[in-house]
Each structure stands twice: as C-alpha cells, then as structure tokens.
Amino acid sequence: MKKVMMGNHALSYGAMLSRAQVISAYPITPQTQVVELLSEMCSDGTLNAQFIKVESEHSAMASCIGASVAGARTFTATSSQGLALMHEMLHWAGGGRHPIVMGNVNRSMAPGWSIWADQNDSLSQRDTGWMQFYCASNQEVVDTVIQAFKVAEALMIPAMVILDAFALSHTYEVVDVPDQGLVDKYLPPFKPAIKLTPADPRAFGGLTGAEHYMELRYKLETDMEKAPALIEETGREFGKIFGRDLGLVDPYRCDDADFIFVTSGTAGFTARVAVDELRKSGVKAGNLRIKVFRPFPFERVREVLGKVKKAAVVDRNCSYGAGGIFYQEVKSAIYGRPGMPPLIGYIAGLGGRDITTDSFKEIAADAMAKDRAEEEIVWIGVKK
Amino acid sequence: MVEIRFHGRGGQGTVVASKILADAIAKEDKWVQAYPEFGVERRGSPVVAFIRIDDKQIYDKSRIYTPDHVVVVDPTLVEAIDITEGLKPGGTIIINSDRRPEDFPFHGKFKVRTIDATAIAVKHKLGSLATPIVNTAIAGAVTKILGLARLESLAAAIRDGVPIKAEDNVKAATEAYEMA
Amino acid sequence: MRPKKAKKIVFKSAEEMPVMICSVGHQTHNLTGAWRNIRPEIDRSKCIKCGICWKFCPEPSIEVVDEWPVVDYDYCKGCGICAEECPAKCIVMVEEQR
C-alpha cells in the first residue's frame, strides 16, 4: 500500500510492522514524531506494545536492555545529544549482546546548538558494538528496520537505523508500506535462547576477569563478521518477497566509471544526480553509496574501488585530529592491496549545510585535477 | 522534474497544504518529495515549504533554490520578503488574494494568478474570521492551475489528511479548483 | 510599537569568528520584541501597583517606574504570563498589527 510519509514515521511503521513489543524512548528534535506515532499506535491498538516512559535517553536505553534481556523485541529512537547521553548504555547493549533496534536521526552535536544534519553523533558511537545502517530514502528506512530486527536477533547484536535530520526525518516521500502478513513471514517472533526469567535464573553482565573478558569480545567480533553475509542473504530474501533488495552498498554507474564518489546518507542520493550530469558532460563518473558502516563492508568496497581510477570520499562528519571518518575507514580497507585507486577525502555539509549537485561537481573537478590527495581534508563550502 | 515553493506564516497550514498536495500527487502514481524549511518556528513568522514532483524516483535531496513555481498563502508576505527569489523565468506565482494579477509588481515578469482563498475559507467556515484556514482552498487552486492531480485525488488526500471538517475542506478545495 | 527587525550579526568567514562558540558580547541589540504576536496592555485605572507582573516577567521586560509597571516593548516577547498572573486582571493581551 503506497503512502506519503515523513522519515520519522517510516521508522514508526518499521517498528510497528516488526511487531516491536517494548518501546522506551525520550523525545528530542528531530525525532519526536517517531515516538508520537508509536504511542498513538500503542494506544489505538495498531501496535500491541508496552511503552515505558523515562526521564532521559540513558534510562531509555537501560529500559530497552532490560526489556530485551527479558525476551522482548525492543525498539527506540533518538538523535545527537540524546544518543550521546546513552553512550554508556550503548556499550552495555553491544557488549551485552542485546538485539535492540534503534532509529537514530543524524543531528549535529552541540555546541553550537544545532538541530540540522551531520553524522558525528552516530559515528562517535561506532566502537560500541552496534551495527549501523545509513538510509537515503524513507522506503529504505521502513525496509531496513524490518531487516535490522532479523539480523540483530540472529546474531544477538543491536542495530542502529540512521537517517539524516530533516532531509529525511521531516521529508515526505512515497513509501510502499510492506504488507504485515508478508513481514510476519520474513520476520518470525523473537525467541532468544537465553533470557532473564525466574524459570531459569541467571545473572547478566557481572564481574568478568581477564581470564574470560577477551573471549566474550572475541565472540562479539566474530559474530559481527558474520553480519555482512547475513545482511546480503536476508537482503536478497527481502527482495524476493517485497521486490526491493537490501545490501551492504549501493553502487551507481560504477562498472565503467573512471572516477567515483564514495558517499552515505541522503548525500549519497544527491550524488547520483551529479553523476548523471557529469556523464552528460563526458566524465565517466559513478557513485558508491555505503549503506552499512558497521560491520564495515570491506569486500564490497574493495570490489568496486578496484575497478576505478580515482575516488573522492565525501564525509558529512569529522573526527577532529584525523579527518573524515568514512575516508579513514575506506583508506584502511584498501591499504596494501594491489590495483587500488588514489583516494581523496572531502568534508561537506556539517551542521546541516546543504550538499548540492554543485558541491559534487566542485568535488569532482578538484579530485580529477589531482593525482593523489594533497592534504588530509579538502573542505567544501567553508568560508575560510 | 517540477519544483514548487510555498510561502506562508506559521500556523496557517502551509506545511499541511504541501503535504496534502504531495498525497494527491502520489495518488496520480507520480514520485513526490515535500518538506518544510527548517528553522525556529512560531505562529506568525514566515515559513517556507517545498515540493518536488517527477515521473521517476527523485534522488536530489538538497534544498530547492530555483523553483519552477511559487505559491503565496499569506499575501502580506509579498511586501515583507522577496517571494520571487530564485523563481525560474516564466514561472507561475499563485497568490491568495482578492486583488487582480496585474496589481502585483512582478506581473509580466512572471505569470501571476490570484485566488481569494480567504473568502472561500470564510464561506465554508474553516477556521475563524481572524484566522481562516486557507490551505485546502489554496491546494485546490494550485492543483488546477499547475495540473498536479485530478480533483478526486485531491479530495481523497484531504479526507485522509485533515483531522476536522474534512468535507467542508473538500468543498473549499473543490470551489477553488473550479474557480481557478 | 513593535521593533521591525532584530539586528542580525553575520560572520563572513571562519577567521572573523571567535574561537569559542559564544555571542559577540552582550545581546541587547537583539530586539526580541520583533518576535511578538500579542502584546500586554496595562490598564492603569485598574492597576493596584502590586508588582506581581514585574516579578513574574521571565524576560525581564517589565520595569517599575514611579511605582507603575512599564512594559519594555523592545524586548517583550508577548508570553502573556503578566496578564495571567495579574491579581487585578488589568493586563490584556492584544494582537499585534503585522
């Protein structure tokens, strides 16, 4: 059924169709509509879930962890300052192996106090043991929440479904809402092997000495390494049922490209428009949109990059002192491998500054004039 | 691809108008993208909303800088701000006003159409005399003038998206559509 | 009555900006009265000079001058708390002309 909805509501529909059983969340711009619609759905019976009201995001994630370990399929949503506030609990959910799915709206970190889009909030959490899915359309948001629950629960690893503030969260697009019956076939109920129950008493997350801790983390990492294949397999399964494949990366016109952009989020869709315009003017351009950032899709990224002559990585984030984060990780993915192209790193769109097709053309012109990166960061659109 | 910009004041339903139009356009099996300009909002301050329409999936997620058409929900904005900024030459400006198109300074440079949506809203008792709800009447006029959708699609979108007095809103939109 | 526009400071480049994320000195140039949609009007014939409006104004945009409350319309944002709290009900919120 086709429906025009905003990105935030796409998150709500994803959680509703996935039959989330417990939702605990705290409001923050630009996420509030996610939780508003979910609480309406709970109160009118569309969604049979328990809604736990809390006084902060830290408590929201703590509640989610409690609910998840008790065996409930759990969902929450937040952004920026709220995500940062739950940082300690993100480590707990990741390390504790609690398959919570969380929608995060990419909003800049304060100060300066900003409600507009950039990726530092979610990327600052990349070490916490959560999967990270970056979406570029509201359709992708609904679909990815459903797939995220399937993968998270299979691997016992939590997942973030991430969308840009306003460019996606508050933008209305046409969404083909998946049929509930078909979603039920794709995503069976959550049945964890171990859970918090008086029938089988256990203690969770207790004091762990050096003789055990490392093995537990080794297990997390090796399970995380199963995720790329599982995401592709469940993505193909999704495609068979709903007609839309969900993979790790979205390459566009890369097969015969000399030069490509490497992008993520909504900028990754705007890049396509720039690619088409560049192609019209004779440049064999392409775009590689990275959809899954954790686990990092090493193989798929190497596959695409190995065939092109040069790539410009465009980051809507900055790790102060080391530059764009996707740039660093793409560089390390191809390090030492033969046949890889020079990479040049660009930072654009911080604090919600618009990234336009002109921005991409500026990046392409700059990259094509260089044989290799001449500095760690090329800033786009900054009034120096 | 067609790009439209809406100008209104906070609290008049400009954003809802763009959402209803998006719904109506989607019912015609077209791709549509609608969003408000995001800033500090309060009742009475100028707000801007945007729509993109295309026959194929819309990938451009940047802001609209050079719209093809402009819609002005509150005529006092014509004096307050430059509603023609970035408007492509030959574009259409649709204004909620009881004045004639020739009365506006930009008539001639752009195609100007007026619709007295305020009078229509008051006639159908939408909102109050002080703050009539003009957005569905505007949606009706815009739909007809720019050929965005059939009247039935707009009516269905209004019934889906308007919380109260849906049928009165449909009547207002229909009257504006037929007058435009 | 209402200030037309609050003065806005725009920096042309990163170099011009202070290193810390702070305002450029005091903010008195920011005439928040421009934000108002409704304004308080005090009826002196009913005012009992209790000072409650002055106490409750969050801005503060009410001064006491010769024992009378006087609204500073350059900054008053029209929140209506003074009208709500006035025990003599002598403050009325009036729509601003646009």
Give chain B's domains with CATH numbers: 2-179 (3.40.920.10)
The confidence score (pLDDT) of residue A325 equals: 98
Q: What domains sit in chain C, N to C, each tagged with a CATH number?
A: 14-95 (3.30.70.20)
Residues sharing a CB contact under 8 Å with residue A106, sequence separation 6 or more, in sequence order: A79, A80, A117, A118, A119, A121, A122, A162, A163, A164, A165, A265, A316
> Which residues fall within 8 angstroms of residue A338, CB to CB, at 6 or more apart?
none
pLDDT at B161: 86
Q: Which residues of B touch A359 (CB under 8 A)?
A: 62
In terms of phi and psi (left: phi > 0; alpha: psi -120 to 50; beta: otherwise), the region of B24 is alpha
Q: Is the pLDDT of residue A164 over 70?
A: yes
Q: Which amino acid is at A328?
A: Q
Architecture of domain A2-240: 3-Layer(aba) Sandwich (3.40)
Partner-chain residue, chosen from C12, C15, C21, that has the shortest CB–CB distance to A112: C21
Q: Does the distance separating the beta carbons of B43 and C98 come in below 8 Å?
A: no
Question: In chain B, what residues touch C98 (CB-CB under 8 Å)?
Answer: 44, 76
Question: Is A114 within 8 Å of A108 (Cβ atoms)?
Answer: yes
Among A243, A240, A262, residue whose Cα is nearest residue A251: A262
Q: Say if CB B155 and CB B174 are below 8 A apart.
A: yes
Identify whether the C-beta of residue B88 lies closer than 8 Å to the C-beta of residue B68: yes
Mean pLDDT of B88-117: 94
Give the number of other CB atoms < 10 A from CB of residue A265.
29
Q: Cβ contacts (< 8 Å) between C11 and chain A: which residues?
A: 383
Phi-psi category of A371—alpha, beta or left, where left has phi over 0 and alpha has psi -120 to 50?
A: alpha
CB contact, 8 Å: C9 with chain A? no
pLDDT at C7 exceeding the cut of 70: no
What CATH code is assigned to A249-379?
Answer: 3.40.50.920
Residue B88 per-residue DSSP state: P
Average pLDDT, chain B: 92
pLDDT confidence bin for B41, thresholds 50/70/90: low
Predicted pLDDT at C28: 82
- Tell me, yes or no, if the two domains A2-240 and A249-379 fold the same way: yes
Tell me which chain B residue has its CA closest to the CA of residue C95. B130
Considering only CB atoms, which chain A residues are within 8 Å of C21? 111-112
Cβ contact, residue pair A172, B35, below 8 Å: yes
For tokens 């802001």, what's the residue? B63
Contacts of B61 in chain A (CB under 8 A): 136, 164, 167-168, 171, 266-267, 269-270
A169/A163 Cα distance (integer angstroms): 7
Q: Please state the pTM of the whole predicted model.
A: 0.93
Q: Does B40 touch chain A (CB under 8 A)?
A: no
ipTM, two decimals:
0.93
For range A149-164, the mean pLDDT:
98
> Which residue in the set A4, A166, A168 is minimally distant from B38, CB to CB?
A166
How high is the pLDDT of residue C11? 87
Distance from CA of B28 to the nearest CA of C (A): 39
Chain centroid, CA A184 distance in Å: 23
Q: How far is C8 from chain A (nearest CA, A)?
A: 17
Where are the domains positioned within chain A? 2-240, 249-379
pLDDT in tens, A255-285: 999 999 999 999 999 999 999 999 999 999 9
CB contact under 8 A, C35 and B43: no
pLDDT at residue A126, as a whole number: 98
Distance of alpha carbon A221 from its chain centroid, rounded? 18
User: Which chains have 3+ CB pairs within 8 A of B?
Assistant: A, C
The CA distance from A294 to A132, in Å, is 5
Taking an 8 Å cut-off on Cβ atoms, the answer to whether B32 and A172 are in contact is: yes
Place of tokens 């998840």: A68
Size of interface B-C (CB pairs under 8 A): 8
The DSSP element (H or E) to which B113 belongs, if any, is strand B111-115
Chains sharing 3 or more CB pairs under 8 A with chain A? B, C
pLDDT the model gives residue C31: 85
